[in-house]
């Protein structure tokens, strides 16, 4: 089930990967257009999985990119290029792209403002949802788990320059990512605060936070909080303070 859903777009990728990302770039250059105008064409190879404006698709494992802080997206593209995150199509697509080009792509998706999907209807129990809400908003002092909102913001829209919003993501995507930190297949720059937090969550906790987060409505103005505006309970290497 997992692998069928996640790999179905691979054929599309094989067809559009080169034509989309690289071909469009060459085309734009021959047409002598400024790089910014051709960005939509350049990222065609990405939109099959991430949506035309980075809004995501209804595939549970393909994340929304739109509106996340540019440096967060940039860090992820570098993580895929350097193997700190593993998903073969993503690793392959960014292998030969320069830092400068990755930064342009990150900025492009960060500036997109497509509407958020309606919040998911949860299929977990009310007790599980309540546990999720508790962890996200207040954490669990006994287990040394800080509130997710302490860094991801009260509105869960993230913080500049590099903390992502958690609204508009599917519950399966969220639990897969937190699970990847727990099992050591996803890494961020040291100190990797998400790895520390994930390792303190039980599998049930992960299900609970993912389920509650996916039922949340994005705020009316879903922009990330300004840099330095939240007092982070742990140091994170990817978020300079």
Binding site for ligand HEC (CB under 6 A): 9, 13, 21, 43, 45-46, 48-50, 61-63, 65, 68, 73, 75-77, 85, 87, 89-90, 93, 105, 135, 145-146, 148, 150-152, 162-164, 166, 174, 176-178, 188, 193-194, 197, 209, 232-234, 236, 238-239
Complex with ligand HEC: residue 147 or 219, whichever CB lies closer = 147
46 appears as a binding residue in the annotation: yes
Tokens found for residue 65: 């990119």
Complex with ligand HEC: residue 32 or 239, whichever CB lies closer = 239
103 appears as a binding residue in the annotation: no
With beta carbons less than 8 A apart as the criterion, state whether 136 and 230 touch. Answer: no
152 appears as a binding residue in the annotation: yes
Cis peptide before 191 (omega within 30 of 0): yes
CB of 236 to ligand HEC, least distance (A): 4
CB of 9 to ligand HEC, least distance (A): 4
DSSP summary character for residue 36: G
39 appears as a binding residue in the annotation: no
Who's near 114: CB < 8 A, 6+ residues apart? Answer: 51, 52, 53, 54, 55, 66
Between the alpha carbon of residue 1 and those of residues 5, 109, 147, 172, 204, the distances in Å are: 6, 29, 32, 13, 21
The closest of 64, 114, 48, 9 to 214, measured between CA atoms, is: 64
Q: Which residues are annotated as a binding site for heme c?
A: 46, 49-50, 90, 148, 151-152, 194
Q: Which residues are annotated as a binding site?
A: 46, 49-50, 90, 148, 151-152, 194
């Amino acid at each position: 089930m997992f692998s069928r859903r996640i790999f179905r777009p691979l054929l599309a990728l094989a067809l559009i990967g080169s034509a989309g990302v690289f071909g469009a770039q060459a085309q734009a250059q021959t047409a002598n257009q400024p790089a910014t105008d051709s960005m939509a064409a350049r990222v065609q190879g990405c939109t099959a999985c991430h949506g035309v404006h980075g809004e995501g698709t209804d595939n549970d494992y393909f994340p929304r990119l739109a509106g996340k802080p540019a440096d967060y997206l940039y860090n992820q593209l570098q993580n895929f290029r350097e193997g700190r995150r593993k998903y073969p199509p993503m690793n392959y697509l960014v292998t030969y792209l320069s830092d400068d080009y990755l930064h342009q792509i990150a900025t492009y998706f960060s500036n997109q403002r497509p509407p958020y999907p309606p919040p998911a209807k949860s299929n977990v129990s009310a007790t599980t949802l309540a546990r999720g809400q508790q962890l996200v908003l207040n954490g669990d002092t006994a287990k040394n788990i800080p509130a997710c909102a302490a860094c991801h913001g009260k509105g869960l829209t993230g913080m500049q320059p590099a903390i992502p919003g958690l609204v508009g993501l599917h519950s399966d995507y969220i639990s897969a990512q937190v699970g990847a930190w727990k099992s050591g297949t996803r890494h961020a720059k040291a100190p990797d605060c998400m790895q520390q937090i994930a390792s303190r969550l039980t599998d049930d906790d992960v299900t609970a936070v993912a389920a509650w987060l996916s039922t949340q409505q994005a705020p009316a103005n879903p922009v990330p909080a300004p840099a330095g505006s939240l007092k982070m309970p742990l140091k994170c290497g990817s978020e300079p303070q």
